[in-house]
Structure 1
Amino acid sequence: MERFPTEKILKKKPGWKEIPIGGIVTNAGSSLLKKTGSWRSFRPILDKAKCINCFTCYAYCPDNAIKVENGKVRIDYEYCKGCGICANMCPVKAIKMEEEKESEK
C-alpha cells in the first residue's frame, strides 16, 4: 500500500466544459437526496390567512422544500434550510422567518 495515495489527488477534475448546465449538484448532499432541515437557524412560518396561493415561494425555493398539495402551499421542514428566499419573494408577506428552537428541529 502506498504511504500517500495520490490517485484521488491526481485524478482530473471536470472543467467548465464538462459540468452540467447550471452547476447542478448530482451527488449526495443535494437536499433532494439528504434531509437537510436539521441544521437551519431560522424557520419559515406560513400565515395561511395571508397566503394568496400564487406559488411564488414554491417557484423560488432552491431546495424544493415548499410543496403544493391540493392547491395549497406546505413547507417540508425536513428539507428546508431556512434560507429565507421564500419569505423575501412572497408578494403579500405571508411567510415570516422565526429563529429556530431546538425543540422544533
Structure 2
Amino acid sequence: MKLKGWKELPIGGVVTEPGNSREVETGTWRIARPIVNPEKCTDCLICWVFCPDDSIPSNGKIRFETELYHCKGCGICAVECPYKAIEMVQEADVILEELKLIDKK
C-alpha cells in the first residue's frame, strides 16, 4: 500500500465561517487574565496578531482592550509583547480585589 502525499490528502480542520469564535465565550474558565501597563504599551498590535481568540478588538484606534468573555487566559499576548507591557494575573486575585472594592461601597 502506497501512502498518499500531502497534495493528495483531503483538507481538514478548516474553519469556513468567519467570526465563529464570537459565538463561544471561553472567558468563564480562564485562570489568568491579561493586564496591560499603559506606560509600556506602544500600541504595536502584536498582541492582536497573535491572539487565537480575537479577544483584543482592533477598530483602528490606538488602545489596548480585552474582551474578557472570549479571553481564555492563554497568555500568548503577554509572551509575544516585545515591550513586556502585558502581565498575566491570576483570575482569583482579580476577583478578590473586585470584591474588596464592592465591600468598601
**So what's the TM-score if we normalise by structure 2?**
0.69
Aligned length: 84
- Please identify runs of 4+ aligned residues in structure 1 that moved more than 3 A: 24-27
Partner of 2:32: 42
CA distance in 1, matches of 2:82, 2:15: 29
Partner of 2:78: 87
Gapped runs of 5+ residues in structure 1?
A: 1-15
Gapped runs of 5+ residues in structure 2?
A: 1-8, 99-105
The letter of the residue matching 1:17 is P
CA distance in 2, matches of 1:24, 1:100: 32
> Identity rate of aligned residues, in percent?
42
Residue number among 52, 57, 61 corresponding to 1:67 in the alignment: 57
CA distance in 2, matches of 1:40, 1:24: 25
Bigger share in strand: 1
Tell me how large the CA RMSD over aligned residues is. Answer: 2.2
1:34 positional shift: 1.4
**So what's the TM-score if we normalise by structure 1?**
0.69
Residue number among 10, 15, 29 corresponding to 1:17 in the alignment: 10
User: Once the two structures are superposed, what CA deviation does each residue of 1:55-93 show, in whole Å capped at 9, x if it has no partner?
Assistant: 000000000001124221211101000000000000000
